[in-house]
Amino acid sequence: MELPLTELQFINNSSLFQFDCPNCDTELEHKVAQLLLTGLATTCIDNTAGDPFRSYASVAIPLRKEMVDYLTERSQNFIAESIIGTVEAVPNQQVEVSDDPAEIISDFMDEFGNIKRNLFGRVSGWLLSENREEKIDDFAQDMETDNFWPIDRREGISAIFIKNVDVKRKFHCGEKYESAEKLHEHMSKCTYRKIICENEGCRAKFSAFSKDEHDVVCAYKMVECEQKCGERLLRRDMDRHCITVCKLRMVNCPFYQIGCESAFVQSELSKHCQEFLSHHVLYVLKSVHKREALSEDELEAHRHMLKESDSWDDLSEAKDVRSLTWAVKDLEAKLKRPESDRENANKVS
């Protein structure tokens, strides 16, 4: 039976496309790579639980190979198995199958872990123990610290698994070319190609299509102050800047503790202290003469006396309670001194 011409052309041409683009979603690739390390640590711990003659480190190398082989086979057969399984499970009804590669690969690792779990782990309460989780975390950390399974190798393997299970091509490129030259040309502009953040200090790696998404959250990007003070700083320093040093940050009046409830931007402190000097002085006078229990009229008389002096405007230079208190006391003493001298002179006469 001869196939239609269009199908023949497709089959003949398909043999020309021997060069596949290997690029995947970089962030997903890294996520799966981390799952591989945790999965291996879990399998090693469960495989040697309760065994005094084997340590989990001693089985790491052979179990790593077995796990990679198992995941390779399962991922390669995933598409066919998912289709057959769906049809057999629910005839004439469409069943949702996860399209998240990380979730699918994680399930494969759980299957492998169950196969390799020893008898002690199956019949005891080991799986629910806190000690198990701690050992898994510690062993995974040790393997990463010792570079037992380098991240770049895990990411390379992860890319293969992702391509195998990513049926809808949502997380990998999948473009094919008939020559290495055309593939090379494509990879230089592939939206899935891996790039490194250009901001100094940032080590983030991501696919090219995620560049803008990363750029708006990158902690190492230089940005303008959110409060529009004119300063440029690292995004990661924004909160500290806005709260502690930004000249446009909102602050309470430094005389808040003695009565002034005003709030304003930091750059307007001098203006506020000048405009509200009369109020601040009255608050200070109440504090200074608290023991004397002066009436409102008497306090007002004290303020009026200070206000009539030539040094009144100088009081606005005091930007906090302590400095204004000292300034007020000093000015009061100076203004009262001539009056005391006159009284002494009258007594002498």
Cα gap 227→265, rounded to integer Å: 10
Angle (nearest 5°) at CA 180 between 178 and 185: 100
Which residue has tokens 């708006």? 216
Q: Which residues are CB-neighbours of 3 under 8 A, at least 6 positions away?
A: 11
The count of residues in the chain is: 349
Distance of CA 225 to the CA centre of its chain: 19
Q: Which residues are CB-neighbours of 82 under 8 A, at least 6 positions away?
A: 97, 167
What does the pLDDT read at residue 106?
96
Q: Which amino acid is at 252?
A: N
Cα gap 258→320, rounded to integer Å: 11
pTM: 0.66
Cβ(171)–Cβ(159) under 8 Å? no
Domain-wise residue ranges, the chain: 12-189, 253-341
In Å, the largest CA–CA distance within the chain is 142
What does the pLDDT read at residue 151?
95
Q: Which helix (H) or strand (E) holds 245?
A: none
Residue 279, Cβ density class (10 Å: 0-12 exposed, 13-18 middle, ≥19 buried): middle
| Residue 207: φ, ψ to 5° | -75, 155
Nearest to 227 by CA among 248, 196, 243, 255: 248
Tens digit of pLDDT at every position of the chain (349 positions):
332 333 323 333 444 558 899 999 999 999 999 999 999 999 999 999 888 888 989 999 999 999 999 999 999 998 777 665 544 545 555 556 678 999 999 999 999 999 998 887 676 666 667 788 999 999 999 999 999 999 999 999 999 999 999 988 999 998 999 899 999 999 999 999 999 999 999 999 999 999 999 999 999 999 999 999 999 999 999 999 998 999 899 899 999 999 999 999 888 999 999 999 999 999 999 988 888 888 888 888 888 888 888 889 888 899 999 999 999 999 888 887 655 554 554 454 4
